[in-house]
Amino acid sequence: MNTATGFDAGRSDLHTATLEEVSQFLYREARYADDSAYQEWLALWDDTDIVYWVPSGKADYDPDTRISYINDNRNRLQTRIRQLQTGQRYAQTPASPMRRVISNIELLHDGGGGAEGHGAHEIVTASNFVLYEHSIQASDQLRLWVGRSTHRLRRRPNGELCIGAKTVELVNATRALPTLAFLL
Amino acid sequence: MSGIDVTAEQPVTVTGRHRYTDADRVNGLAYSDPDVFELELHRIFTDGWVFVGHDSEIPDVGDFVTRRLGHDPVIMLRDRDRSVLVLANRCSHRGVTLTQAPNGNARSFQCIFHGWTYGLDGSLKGVPQPGGMEMSKSDCSLDRPGQVTSYRGFVFANQSGTAGTLDDHLGTGGRELLDWVCDLSPIGELDISAGWLGQDVASNWKMWAESDLDGYHLGTLHNSLWSVVPDTQYGPAVLAGESIVKATTRNRGGGHVELEFWRGYDRQLAWLGVPRERVADYCEALTERHGRERAEELLWMGPPHALIFPNLFLGEMNLAIIDPIAPDRTVHHHTPLLLAGVDPSFNLRVLRQSEAAMGPAGFLLPDDAAAAERMQVAFGQSGGWMDMSRGRSRERIDERGHVVSHVSDEVPGRGFWGHWAQVMAP
């Protein structure tokens, strides 16, 4: 037992997550994204081996042979965040006011055993979102973004949840999209 | 519609407003006036040659992609005899689109309304209840553009059939660019197979012809990227300072214009961002095909950065199509320029670079969209003049008769607008 955190990395039953814990995590991530709190949002991700994927359709294809809107590893995601933080990323300067509603949260795998094709104790959750973005940078439109997110969550050594992979399937991903310089 | 005088000294037009462009400036109404837009759809996108797609997108019989010629939906497909056809995506009976899919593979196309069925060659194969049919089936084939011609796999079409030859449209200047693109492949062929992404922008289409070919804005509009990714080929080529950079602009004529970043690169393969050892096989294969001298030149130059008038952007290791939707709305489609005859790891690198730079979530294009959308806002109702004179007094005509100048000079803009004015003249 790690007395500092009360978390024992060796006990598999302690890896499992509840819908309540996962939901609170997703709501927090959504709030950071809505507030363009870039550093806080990035801090929710694992330090290595991550994928932030926004496919150009359903997430049923090989991203190494077909183009995606976003396919970030840790390095590229950090670059994305640092670019936003320069204050000169004019597509998001000022940042879009936006609010998203997350719903239909399902805990597809609670982390009690290895998720299919992935490491043991990965927690898999899927949810729907509706996001209203006010593009105040130029065109001044209230834009609607709708989709489904699938998160693969992991436990840090201290027991906190973090994001290993996030896939966002936009309902209109097979068609042209407006500027997507904010965080989904 | 034919009365817009774009060359008059005084601002007079059929609309009673301004002239739209002279040598060094453009009126904002050229981007916002619906009459101008409608005339462009006729003169440029119906009566002229436009890029449709690349034949490597449809390698197998029945493969198709859907595109637009101006505002007319078309299907580009691979027929049974392996030829590439462009057909109207419009049933010859009552005009329903035959497919709404961006791409796919088909044995035939059947209209959902009354079930008319067409072969891949566009011929009408069958109709339900043929007893009442007044027309002969042979008169009901799908429409085709007046002319379709391809060059090095790049398929162009001209709706009206009155545009003259594609050869004349491209000219030596345009053909060279397409040859150059294909020469990058060790077998001279492209593999445009990764699909297209569209960026939906609230601006006129011509902002994209301009900003894609603007060498002046890289150090300002895109500074957010260079400040976090300082080590790119654009550093020495464009960002090093006005008196230092060697990159140039070029007007190849016919509205085909170019940024020559390669003149400012500081090493071979800067455009790919890898040292030579990493792509030794590629270098060897290129030498085998072209000989040492040309291969070494290509390894330095990489791909062109140029516009083939009006809608094809050769964006280094990307192809882009500029698709005019409305006076104040454009879709900028792009796909990575994948090469045939290279190792998959080469194309994977190109794909990842394309995702980084281009599209609605790329590190570059969203900021271009912000500038374009703010231009559209600024032109408002009465236009106002936009200056495009930069570098006029230091540009020169080279031995090939092309206007060339500093990379930051507005030679491409003037080349584009000069051709536009000719095509749009009454």
Whether B194 and B112 share a structural domain: no
With beta carbons less than 8 A apart as the criterion, state whether B88 and B99 touch.
no
Per the structure, the count of domains in chain B is 2
What value does the mean pLDDT take over residues B153-163?
97
Of B102, B198, B228, the CB nearest to A177: B198
For chain A, list the domains and their CATH numbers: 12-170 (3.10.450.50)
Round the CA-based radius of gyration of chain A to a whole number and report it.
17
B245 within some domain: yes
What confidence score (pLDDT) does residue B13 get?
Answer: 41
Lowest mean pLDDT among B40-49, B130-139, B375-384: B375-384
Q: What is the pLDDT of residues B221-264, one digit of tens each?
A: 999 999 999 889 999 989 999 999 999 999 999 999 999 999 99
B246 within some domain: yes
What confidence score (pLDDT) does residue A4 get?
Answer: 45
Residue whose structure tokens are 């003249």: B425
Q: Which two tokens stand for residue B384?
A: 């106002």
Chain B nearest C-alpha distance from A130 (Å): 19
B31 within some domain: no
Does the pLDDT of residue B16 top 50, yes or no?
Answer: no
Whether B353 and B411 share a structural domain: yes
Q: How many CB atoms lie within 10 A of CB A134?
A: 13
Quickly state the pLDDT bin for B56 (edges 50, 70, 90). very high
What confidence score (pLDDT) does residue B20 get?
Answer: 75
Cα–Cα distance for residue pair B234/A126, rounded to 1 Å: 41
CATH number at residue B139: 2.102.10.10
What confidence score (pLDDT) does residue B23 get?
Answer: 65
Quickly state the pLDDT bin for A118 (edges 50, 70, 90). low
B404 within some domain: yes
Are B361 and A176 an interchain contact pair (Cβ–Cβ within 8 Å)? Answer: no
> What residues contact B25, with CB distance under 8 A and at least 6 apart?
B385, B386, B387, B388, B389
Q: Which of B410, B324, B373, B378 is nearest to B27 (CA)?
A: B378
**Phi (first) and psi of residue B276, to 5 degrees:** -55, -35
Q: How many CB atoms lie within 10 A of CB B273?
A: 12
Cα–Cα distance for residue pair A42/A152, rounded to 1 Å: 15
Whether B153 and B176 share a structural domain: no
∠ CA B341-B347-B351, nearest 5°, is 150
**Phi (first) and psi of residue B209, to 5 degrees:** -60, -30
What confidence score (pLDDT) does residue B3 get?
Answer: 39
* Of B170 and A13, more confident: B170
Whether B296 and B387 share a structural domain: yes
Contacts of B224 in chain A (CB under 8 A): 83, 86-90
Q: Which two tokens stand for residue A182?
A: 């904010």
Domain end point (choices B133, B158, B183):
B158
Q: Is-cis flag, bond preceding B324, omega within 30?
A: no
Q: Which two tokens stand for residue B398?
A: 């080279």
- 3-state secondary structure string across B205-226: CHHHHHHCCCCCCCCCCCHHHH
- What's chain B's length in residues? 426
Cα–Cα distance for residue pair B306/B260, rounded to 1 Å: 8
Q: What is the pLDDT of residues B68-127, one digit of tens each?
A: 999 999 999 999 999 999 999 999 999 999 999 999 999 999 999 999 999 999 999 999
What value does the mean pLDDT take over residues B158-169?
97
Whether B320 and B198 share a structural domain: yes
What confidence score (pLDDT) does residue B364 get?
Answer: 97
Kind and range of the H or E element at B68? strand B63-69
Whether B136 and B208 share a structural domain: no
**Phi (first) and psi of residue A19, to 5 degrees:** -60, -35
Q: Which of residues 41-60 of A touch B (CB under 8 A)?
A: 54, 56
- Residue B220: beta bridge partners? none
Domain extent at residue B248: 170-424
Are A181 and B225 an interchain contact pair (Cβ–Cβ within 8 Å)? Answer: no
Chain B nearest C-alpha distance from A43 (Å): 19
Domain end point (choices B128, B158, B188):
B158
What is chain B's mean pLDDT, rounded? 93
Chain A nearest C-alpha distance from B361 (Å): 5
What confidence score (pLDDT) does residue B224 get?
Answer: 95
Lowest mean pLDDT among A82-96, A161-175, B20-34, B209-223: B20-34
CATH number at residue B348: 3.90.380.10
Residue whose structure tokens are 């070919």: B213
- Strand ranges (DSSP E) for B337-417? 385-387, 396-397, 403-406
Are A175 and B227 an interchain contact pair (Cβ–Cβ within 8 Å)? Answer: no
* Side chain identity at residue B361, one-letter code: A
Contacts of A70 in chain B (CB under 8 A): 355, 361
With beta carbons less than 8 A apart as the criterion, state whether B357 and B320 touch.
no
What confidence score (pLDDT) does residue A177 get?
Answer: 98
Cα–Cα distance for residue pair B370/B348, rounded to 1 Å: 29
Q: Which residue of B has its CA nearest to A182?
A: B361
* Of A23 and A118, more confident: A23
Q: Which two tokens stand for residue B322?
A: 């500029």
Whether B235 and B149 share a structural domain: no
Does the pLDDT of residue B9 top 60, yes or no?
Answer: no
What value does the mean pLDDT take over residues A32-40?
98
With beta carbons less than 8 A apart as the criterion, state whether A7 and A16 touch.
no
Q: What is the pLDDT of residues B362-375, one digit of tens each?
A: 999 999 999 999 99
Of B193, B199, B370, the CB nearest to A176: B199
With beta carbons less than 8 A apart as the criterion, state whether B30 and B389 touch.
no
- What's chain A's length in residues? 184
Q: Which two tokens stand for residue A69?
A: 């809107």
What value does the mean pLDDT take over residues A21-42?
98
Chain B nearest C-alpha distance from A5 (Å): 36
Does the pLDDT of residue A179 top 50, yes or no?
Answer: yes
Whether B66 and B211 share a structural domain: no
With beta carbons less than 8 A apart as the criterion, state whether B189 and B340 touch.
yes
What confidence score (pLDDT) does residue B25 get?
Answer: 87
Contacts of B354 in chain A (CB under 8 A): 67
What confidence score (pLDDT) does residue A114 get?
Answer: 52
Quickly state the pLDDT bin for A120 (edges 50, 70, 90). low
Quickly state the pLDDT bin for A32 (edges 50, 70, 90). very high
> What residues contact B181, with CB distance under 8 A and at least 6 apart?
B152, B190, B303, B304, B314, B337
What confidence score (pLDDT) does residue B91 get?
Answer: 98
Whether B342 and B301 share a structural domain: yes
Q: Which two tokens stand for residue A67?
A: 């183009």
- Strand ranges (DSSP E) for B72-123? 72-78, 84-88, 103-105, 109-110, 117-118
Of B355, B363, B370, the CB nearest to A138: B370
CA dihedral B135, B141, B144, B147 (to 10 degrees): -90
Q: What is the pLDDT of residues B171-193, one digit of tens each?
A: 999 999 999 999 999 999 999 99
Quickly state the pLDDT bin for A119 (edges 50, 70, 90). low
What confidence score (pLDDT) does residue B24 get?
Answer: 85
Q: Which two tokens stand for residue B254?
A: 């016919």
The pairing of strands A51-55 and A161-170 is parallel
Cα–Cα distance for residue pair B396/B403, rounded to 1 Å: 6
What value does the mean pLDDT take over residues B142-171?
97
Are A86 and B224 an interchain contact pair (Cβ–Cβ within 8 Å)? Answer: yes
What percent of chain B is predicted at pLDDT more than 70? 95
Are B363 and A79 an interchain contact pair (Cβ–Cβ within 8 Å)? Answer: yes
Contacts of A65 in chain B (CB under 8 A): 193-194, 351
Chain A nearest C-alpha distance from B200 (Å): 5
Residue whose structure tokens are 């408002």: B380
Q: How many CB atoms lie within 10 A of CB B243?
A: 6
